[in-house]
Amino acid sequence: MNATVSLPSTLRRSAPRLARPIGQAVAALVATLSAWMRPREESPAEAAARLRRLANQYLSQPSFAADLRAAADRHDNYGEGH
């Protein structure tokens, strides 16, 4: 047995009245959150400290650790000149 039900309705051709303001508010919130979550740039001193911590983890590879420490020294020198 097949039954068909017809319901009276009107087709909406435009978005609801609050759709645009809600969409703009959500977009602004997403933009704010993405800006807040973006990592900030390290200062040369912070980068040098990070490289020295990394160098301390490579005690079994002294030449690699020395390269990291030299890079840290370059960051320190860069920070002094700028």
Query: Which pLDDT tens digits describe the chain residue by residue (82 residues)?
Result: 677 877 777 776 777 888 899 999 999 999 999 988 888 888 888 888 998 999 999 888 999 999 989 988 887 776 555 5
Q: Which two tokens stand for residue 5?
A: 């039900």
Domain coordinates of the chain in residue numbers? 44-81
Is the separation of the CB atoms in 51 and 77 below 8 Å?
A: no
**Among 46, 49, 45, 67, CA closest to 58:** 67
Q: How many alpha carbons fall within 13 Å on the CB side of residue 6?
A: 1
pTM: 0.47
